[in-house]
Structure 1
C-alpha cells in the first residue's frame, strides 16, 4: 500500500522531499514505545502501589536462568536485603513466586556456584579474580537468608504435627518444646521397641562388641573398598604364564581403582555378600572355548565388568563357599 501511495504522489508531481518527510513522520508514529519491563532496567524493582510506598521493605527481583549466580549476587550485595521481603521471578517465565520460585532460584544458584568450586565429595570455594570481599559477603547472605524466606506455612506445620500424632499447633512460646518432644518420640521411643526385641536374641553379640568404639571398628573392618578387596585376590596357581599374569594384573588394577559402591558389587559378585566376610578370593584361570560371553582381558575389560556389575540380577550358577 505504501508503494502505491508513493507512485500516486509522484504521478501528481509531488516533490520527492515531501514524500520522504511524510514517510518519516508515518514511521515515527508507528514505532511503539519501549515496553516497561523491570528487568530491562534493573534486577530489582519496588512496586509502586500505595501499600508498598508505606512498606519499602518489599523487594522484587528478576533473575536470568543463564546467569543466576551473577543476578542473585547483584541482589544480595545490598546488606539491607536481609531485612526485606524478597520475591523473585525468572525473566520471560510466567510463574508467580509463592515460595516455589524462590526455592528454584536458590537451587539453581547453588548448582551453578558449586560447579565453580573445587573438590569431589566436599566442595571448597576457590579464590577468583572477579570475586571481591563484596561478592563473598553476598554469598554469605544467600547461604543464610534469614529474613528473606517466608515463615513456615501454617498448613505445612499442621501436617507435620498431624503425622507425629498431634492434631493442633501448639502456641508459639511452646513450639520448641513440642518439636523436641516429637523428635524424642521419632528418634528414641519408637525404635526402642525394636531394639528391645533385638537385644533378646543378640546377647552373644553384645559380648563381642562391648562399646561403641568396638562397633565402629567392626563396621570399618568389614566395609568394602577397592584396596581391601584387591588384597583378598589370591591366584590358585603359584606359577602363572605371561598371559595369565597380564589378566591378573588387569583384574587387580580394576578392583583397586573401584569406589566403595563398585567394590561392594564386586565383593557380592564373588562372595554373595557386600561386606568382607571371607579371608581370600581365589582366582583361577580356565581355558575357555566357544562364543559364550565372559569378561576378556583386553581394551574392553573395564566395560565388560561394569556391564555385569551394573545389573541388579546376579545368576548364581556357581558354588560359593
Structure 2
C-alpha cells in the first residue's frame, strides 16, 4: 500500500506531465531558478504598476474625476489589499494582464457599486461618486465582504 501511494501514484502523474513540462525549458523564463524568481518579481503587483495598467476613455469631466479617484485609491492600497483588488478585477492576485479597462455606469443609491468582469479584465465604476472618500469607502467595502465575490450569470 505504501509503495503504491508514495511511488506509483506520483510516478503516474510525473509521466503524464513530463511531455508538457519539458517544453517549458525552451523559454528563457524557465531556464533557471534565478530566471523564475525574476519572473515572479516582475509579476508581483505594486500600486504604481497597477495604476499604470488602468486605462479608460472618459467622455465627461465627471468620468475623468472618478477615474482619477480610482487611480488615487489604487495607489493608496497596501500589498494585501492590492492583491485582493487585482483578484476582484482580473481573477488573479498577480499581474497576469497588460491592461485593465475601466468603463463607467450611472448606478446610484443602494445599487451603486463597482463591478468587474474578470474574463475581459473590465472594471465598471459608477460616475456618480461625489469625491474620493465615497469611492474609497464603497470600493473597500466591496473588497472586504465575501458576498461581493459571488458570480452572477445573467
TM-score by length of 1: 0.35
The residue that corresponds to 2:79 in the other structure is 260
Shift of 1:297: 4.8
Q: Comparing both structures, which one devotes a greater share of its residues to helix? A: 2
The residue that corresponds to 1:244 in the other structure is 63
Runs of 4+ off more than 4 Å: none
Higher Rg: 1
* CA-to-aligned-CA distance 1:79-114 (integer Å, 9 cap, x gap): xxxxxxxxxxxxxxxxxxxxxxxxxxxxxxxxxxxx
Alignment of 1:1-321 (within 5 A): 197=14, 200=18, 201-208=20-27, 209-235=30-56, 237=57, 240-288=59-107, 291-294=110-113, 296-298=129-131, 299-313=133-147, 314-317=149-152
- The root-mean-square deviation of aligned C-alpha atoms, in Å, is 2.6
Shift of 1:261: 1.0
Change (3 A) 1:304 1:288: closer
Structure having greater relative contact order (Cα 8 Å, sep ≥ 6)? 2
Number of aligned residue pairs: 124
TM-score by length of 2: 0.68
> What stretches of structure 2 of length at least 5 have no aligned partner?
1-9, 115-128
In 1, Cα distance between equivalents of 2:62 and 2:139:
19
Q: Secondary structure of 2:150's match?
A: coil
In 2, Cα distance between equivalents of 1:261 and 1:297:
27
Q: Secondary structure of 1:245's match?
A: helix
Change (3 A) 1:204 1:318: farther
Change (3 A) 1:292 1:213: same
Q: Secondary structure of 1:288's match?
A: coil
Q: Comparing both structures, which one devotes a greater share of its residues to strand? A: 2
Shift of 1:220: 0.8
* CA-to-aligned-CA distance 1:124-174 (integer Å, 9 cap, x gap): xxxxxxxxxxxxxxxxxxxxxxxxxxxxxxxxxxxxxxxxxxxxxxxxxxx
Change (3 A) 1:271 1:249: same
The 8 Å contact of residues 54 and 102 in structure 2, kept in 1 or not, is answered as: yes
